[in-house]
Amino acid sequence: MSNLMNEGTLKVINEAVITIPGLMSFAEVNKESGLVLATKEIDKAIEVSITEKIHRLKIHIILLNGVNIKDVATEVQIRVKYELEKLSNFTNSYYVDVVVDALAK
């Protein structure tokens, strides 16, 4: 786990995202089978890469069927970016990519 992804940071991301309407859960993708599983373990749903002061996160999620995918993904990006920048006292830049791995029925 990188320095960015400590337990406190994961908690901040989780709290920013779980209240978004239309979000069912975070997603874990089994790389071997390609199977998408709902998970509460946020560290399995986030990929991180860091270069100098730029932190790039890829967050995998599962949405409820019938929601506006673009609106929910944009809300995840905005909330996570803001909360992480606030946590770092606005000294780091964050790029947040959201991957919708599945729609739940």
Are 77 and 58 contacting, i.e. CB atoms less than 8 angstroms apart?
no
List the structure tokens of 72.
């929910």
CATH architecture group of domain 7-104? 2-Layer Sandwich (3.30)
Instruction: Output phi, psi for 39, to 5 deg.
Output: -145, 150
Please indicate whether residue 42 or residue 31 has the higher confidence score (pLDDT): 42
- Kindly report the length of the chain: 105
Q: Which of 72, 75, 11, 69 is nearest to 40 (CA)?
A: 11
**Cβ–Cβ contacts within 10 Å for residue 41, how many?**
10
pTM of the model: 0.87
Q: What is the pLDDT of residues 43-85, one digit of tens each?
A: 899 999 888 778 999 999 999 999 999 999 999 999 999 999 9
User: Hey, which residues does 36 pair with through a beta bridge?
Assistant: 29
With cut-offs at 50, 70 and 90, classify the pLDDT of residue 7: confident
d(Cα 92, Cα 85) in Å, to the nearest integer? 6
